[in-house]
Amino acid sequence: MAAVNQDEVRALDRVRQRLQTFANTLGALRQDLEKSDRIPPWPILSDQIQTATRTLSTLQETLSENSAFLARAHAYPLPSFPGRTQEGLLQQLLRKKLDPSIEDAIADARKEAARFIDGVDGVDGGVSGGTSSADGNEGGKLGEHDLSEIWLWAGPGESEIAHSIFSGPELMDEDDDEDDSGDEDDEVESAAATPAGRAREPAAGNQAPNMELFLRFMSTGRDPEVIARDLQREREVQRMVAGKGRSADVAGRP
Amino acid sequence: MHELLLFGQVPRERHEQVLSVLTGVAAMPPRRVLERHVTYRPTADRYQQAQTGGSQGLQDKRQQALLTQLNKDLYYTQLVQTLTEQDFRGAKEDAQSSGDTNVGRSGPDDGEVSRVQGSWVIQFNDLPEPGDKRPVTLRYTATTDVVDGNPHEYMTALGYSYVSEYILEGHRLLHKDIVILLHRILRLPPGTTPDHSPRHLLPAFDALVPLDPSGSYILRACFRLQDGTKPEMVRKGTEELMGLKQLMKGVVDLSPANRLSLDTRVKFLQHKVEEKKTVQLPVLGGI
């Protein structure tokens, strides 16, 4: 057995880091969902899910880059390993099979998938090979090709629906002054760290921005477009004030 | 009359579901609500006539204070009419007789007024009381029934001018002492509203345009108080609303509204600036 070289150690370490990030992201999302008094606002949830997806895909990249080594790698405890005190960890490291609960979950998922996806065998939990999946619709089941088509459609389709539901009035806001740059700005905003979004939410009085617009319209009957413009201006001022406050804080704290 | 309020927003997709949940919570079938809200604004030059004396007006300081007072706190006021679905059928006739849709007009074909038959009330909502710690919105509100006569002419005579109108559509339920209103705002189709008076006839219901393009609904929970200055009643109402909020947790997020978004005060910006000028000039001259 060849000893583990530098590169391989580094690969292991990278995988560990990625796993850690992913676990943290998921943990934070779960905590937000479970512990917070109300469901977090959509932009924050969407950001978190995006982050989780990103970390998951980097993890997958790292895994597939080093797949050759990782497939060969096995854990052998050295004689110096504190086997008595760390028995639990040792067992965990040496265990080749998955955790029973995870195995069950995978089996369940396979059973579900076997109902409509070709090439998945739900009974013994194994994939029966790519022979039949290439040509697709055997017995009305979906082949690999159909699946990838669905995903290609579902991604943009879903985001379009979400966009129209959640950002309708916001788009209306931006129609006036920033026709072309509006969408890009949105992306930049959501891609920028979540704290910015978090800081903005309470400023709007814990209400969705369009709620504010409706209430104002109901109170004054003014033209909604004018109200939207006013709101946007107010929000900008608030943001500026908040920004100044922060920079003053930083300046005051040498 | 005071009211304690909580607001929440329901996406269109979940409207049916939330309505079912509310039906279960309230243990009563929802009542359909159709209302027409016409907003009026006090005219800016309402008390200008009294001021035309220029600097002479300043001699009487009490009068000046009174005028300032009169011009300072002016509020948007609404006329609210209860409607039924039948009121919306007049779309076709309306297309023919478009242009002359003044409620106040009297003439041989004035019988059209009776086409929209619901009774009117004059509704005034004050700016909510300040207080960051209160978990609900508290505001003064007053409604006066219009028993007879033409409400639009009445408002005009009072020195109000027409701003706009909208249709409130939704369902009302009662849970304990809380009036729950799940509604959305519909606007009259663009281009069909006259500038100075409410419409005579209403368009077809399907022609109305939701204020929110995504079609979301607003959930309003309201606890009404005869006297909002009694702390124990306010506390009871707040507790009941908080109970509802807790009950609806995960279904709809209920929260107090931003105080300024319910601001019904009229802002006469230019007017105030002018006022300041006239006050300052004589002072400078005196030095």
Choose the closest CB to A172 out of B213, B258, B259: B213
What confidence tier does A176 reach under pLDDT thresholds 50, 70, 90? very low
Range with lowest mean pLDDT among A136-150, A180-194, B232-246:
A180-194
Residue B169 has pLDDT above 50, yes or no: yes
Radius of gyration of chain A (CA): 26
pLDDT of residue B226: 87
Do residue A169 and residue B13 have CB atoms under 8 angstroms apart?
Answer: no
Range with lowest mean pLDDT among A113-122, B123-132, B250-259:
A113-122
DSSP character string of chain B: -EEEEEEEEE-GGGHHHHHHHHHHHHTSPPEEEEEEEEEEEE-TTTTHHHHTTGGGGGG-HHHHHHHHHHHHS-B-EEEEEE--GGGGGGHHHHHHTTT---TT--STTGGGGGGS-PPEEEEEEPPPPP-TT-SSEEEEEEEEE--SS-HHHHHHHTTEEEEEEEEEEEEEEEETTEEEEEEEEEEPPTT-S-SSS--SS---GGG-EESSTT--EEEEEEEEES-TT-HHHHHHHHHHHHHHHHHTTTT---BPPPGGGG--B---HHHHHHHHHHHHHHHHHH-
Interface probe for B, chosen from A219, A225, A226, A235 (most Cβ of B below 10 Å), is A219
Residues of chain A in contact with residue B185, where contact means CB-CB under 8 angstroms, are: 214, 217-218
Residue pLDDT, tens place only, B81-127 = 888 887 776 544 444 444 444 444 433 333 344 456 778 899 888 88
Average the pLDDT over A30-36 and give the result: 83
Residue A128 has pLDDT above 70, yes or no: no
Q: Residues 6 or more apart from B196 whose CB is under 8 A from it?
A: B161, B162
Choose the closest CB to B39 out of A39, A169, A220: A220
What confidence tier does A136 reach under pLDDT thresholds 50, 70, 90? very low
The pTM of the full predicted model, rounded to 2 decimals, is 0.53
Q: Which domains does chain A have, with CATH numbers?
A: 1-73 (1.20.58.1710)
Do residue B261 and residue A205 have CB atoms under 8 angstroms apart?
Answer: yes
pLDDT of residue B223: 92
Which residues of B have a CB under 8 Å from any CB of A? 7, 9, 11-13, 37-39, 41, 76, 78, 125, 163-166, 185, 211-214, 216, 218, 249-250, 253, 255-259, 261-264
Q: Which domains does chain B have, with CATH numbers?
A: 2-284 (2.40.320.10)
User: How far from A78 is each of A83, A110, B71, B145, CA to CA, in Å?
Assistant: 9, 38, 88, 90
Do residue B39 and residue A221 have CB atoms under 8 angstroms apart?
Answer: yes
Q: Looking at this predicted complex, what is its ipTM? A: 0.75
How many CB pairs below 8 Å do chains A and B form together?
89
What confidence tier does A213 reach under pLDDT thresholds 50, 70, 90? confident
